[in-house]
Amino acid sequence: MFRKHLFYLSSDQLSAYLWERGQLSAGPVFSNDRAGIDAFMDYVDSQGYVPAYLLADLIEEDFQRVSLPHVTGRAGRNLLERRLLQQYRETPYRAAAIQGRDSEGRMDDQALLSALTNPGLVQPWLQALEMLRAPVAGLYSATLMSPYLLKKLDLREEHLLLVTQQSAGLRQSYFQNGLLKFSRLTLAEDRDGEPVNLARETEKTQQFLTSVRLIGRGDVLHAVVLTRSEQIERLRRQCQGGPETAYEFLAMESAAIRLGLPRAPELADALLLTLLGRAQPPSQYRLGEAQRYFKLWRARLRLYAISATVALASLVWIGTNFWRYFDAMGAADRAYAEADHYDARYKAALSSLPPAVARTANMKAAVTVEQMLMRQGPQPFPIMSTLSNALDKVPSIRVTLLEWKVNLPGVKAGPAEGAGAMPSGAPGEVLEPISSSMLGIPAAPPQALRVEAEIEVAQDNYRSVVDSMNAFTQELARQPRLTVEIEQLPVDTRSNVRLSGKAGTVTGGVEAKPKFIINLGWKP
């Protein structure tokens, strides 16, 4: 936990405290004059760059309860700010809090406005801190810190008056259902140096609360007096309860135990400062530019925290990478050892076997050749598929005979000697091996397809024969890597010869259809 300066400011002095490791330790006290402020600056400068929290307990602190229309969002905040400025125009130290809504009528918001009406008591100390560029975390009110004390002491009465003796005097704060409504600070001693009559001061406060209708007729005001145990008996004799007033005395030692303090303080100042050091609430009174060094200090801490987080994450990442590296190295060593082990077993197994007919390299080459034959060997499917598509588009053509063969330059093969035919010879005759080019090594060989077909047309319809023939050959010629050569036309249409051929004539009761022959060349 960071060290913090906690300053308790009253009308005539400022008490310095140091908050460190969750404990509050008292420091010097400075008077409210030029010499005191100079000594205060020397003290703050000697303590280093430590955030400061200023707790003010002044008589010149005013509280007003107002009703405002229920408006939410930015408009509601602007309305509250304007009302606060109208109420306390002469001081920059003002605050407002919404405490609920009316249960009837327009259901307006109930707001508590407060301000330090004499800013001249606060500004010299803030200016001294600003000259030292000290990070001022906030300006707080001892009265506005009382709800924290009320919660710690577990006080839950509907109409509660908390009476505490502080270095500034006797503070009486009124709470209604746990919400602060009013507070007044009086002197703890009269002109003769005697303690003031607590019962009389409580009666004055009760009369005021009744006059402003915070307490109705017949309501009981529970006054809880926080004081040292040795003072309780004297105050109990002085404060006698009545039909509308009930007194309860709470020892300072008991309050110190509830707050976890090692020893009971003389005044309630230490209780409020302890709550401030632990809670660290936002500034209750606005400071404006006086808080800029605190914002810079907090931003620097955030940068340090981010840098530390990044450095820690980098170390973790580096450590993880090193661990993975060494783990991978160990896994690689184990894999190498396992591979050596299996290699030794493989060699041992091979040594016990008879000599192999083929070596491993030869087997790999045979597999490669077999895959190449499957991929590049001559097959009639591509050229047959092209022919089938052309026949689908010209339905009048009917194929009567197909002769497929591999057509390599310089290789003569008869119609029956296709790629799938095995060479034949006399028994005992040594046959020449098949060329590797014929089998698709190193590239797929060209193919040839001889097509004999006839055309189904009406009798003596020569134009239909010619049109069907032209459409069929043009459809085949559109295919890439396919050449079309006409070997025999169904009708010889040359001008220098006599028209010959048959076009749907009937001979002996059987219709004679025009026939043609074409040769297709396919280059994969």
Q: Phi/psi class of residue 260: alpha, beta or left (left: φ > 0; alpha: ψ in -120 to 50)?
A: left
Q: Which residues contact 421 (CB under 8 A, 6 or more apart)?
A: none
Q: What is the DSSP string of 263-308?
A: S--SSTHHHHHHHHHHH-PPPSB--GGGGHHHHHHHHHHHHHHHHH
Pick the CATH number of 143-268 from 1.10.3470, 3.30.420, 3.40.50, 3.30.1180: 3.30.420
Identity (one letter) of the amino acid at 143? T
Query: What are 459's two structure tokens?
Result: 């009798």
Q: What is the pLDDT of residue 419?
A: 45
Tell me, what amino acid is at 190? Answer: D
Residue 494 host element (H or E): none
pLDDT digits over 494-504, tens only? 666 565 555 55
Q: Is 170 in contact with 196 (CB distance < 8 Å)?
A: yes
Q: What is the pLDDT of residue 420?
A: 46
Phi first, then psi, for residue 20 (nearest 5°) are -150, 130
CATH number of 381-411+440-522: 3.30.70
pLDDT for position 503: 52
Q: What is the pLDDT of residue 494?
A: 61
Q: Are 454 and 513 in contact (CB under 8 A)?
A: yes
- Residue spans of the domains in the chain: they are 143-268, 292-340, 381-411+440-522
- Distance, in Å, from the CA atom of 403 to the CA atom of 137, rounded to the nearest integer, reads 102
Write the CB contacts of 486 (distance below 8 Å, at least 6 apart in sequence).
473, 516, 517, 518, 519
- The runs of H, that is alpha helices, within 377-483 are 381-393, 462-477
The two structure tokens encoding residue 2? 């960071």
Q: How many CB atoms sit inside 10 A of residue 432's CB?
A: 7
Distance of alpha carbon 445 from alpha carbon 439, whole angstroms: 7
Neighbours of 68 (CB within 10 A): 18
Q: Amino acid identity of 360?
A: T
d(CA 404, CA 519): 10
pLDDT beneath 50, residues of the chain: 413-422
Residues ≥6 apart with Cβ < 8 Å to 91? 115, 116, 117, 118, 119
User: What is the reported pLDDT for 498?
Assistant: 61
> Residue 483: is it exposed, middle or buried by C-beta count within 10 angstroms (0-12/13-18/19+)?
middle
- If DSSP states are collapsed to H, E and C, what string results for 464-490? HHHHHHHHHHHHHHCCCCEEEEEEECC
The model scores a pTM over 0.95: no
Q: CA-to-CA distance for 28 and 500, rounded, in angstroms?
A: 137
Which pLDDT does position 415 carry in this prediction? 45
CB atoms within 10 A of CB 403: 15
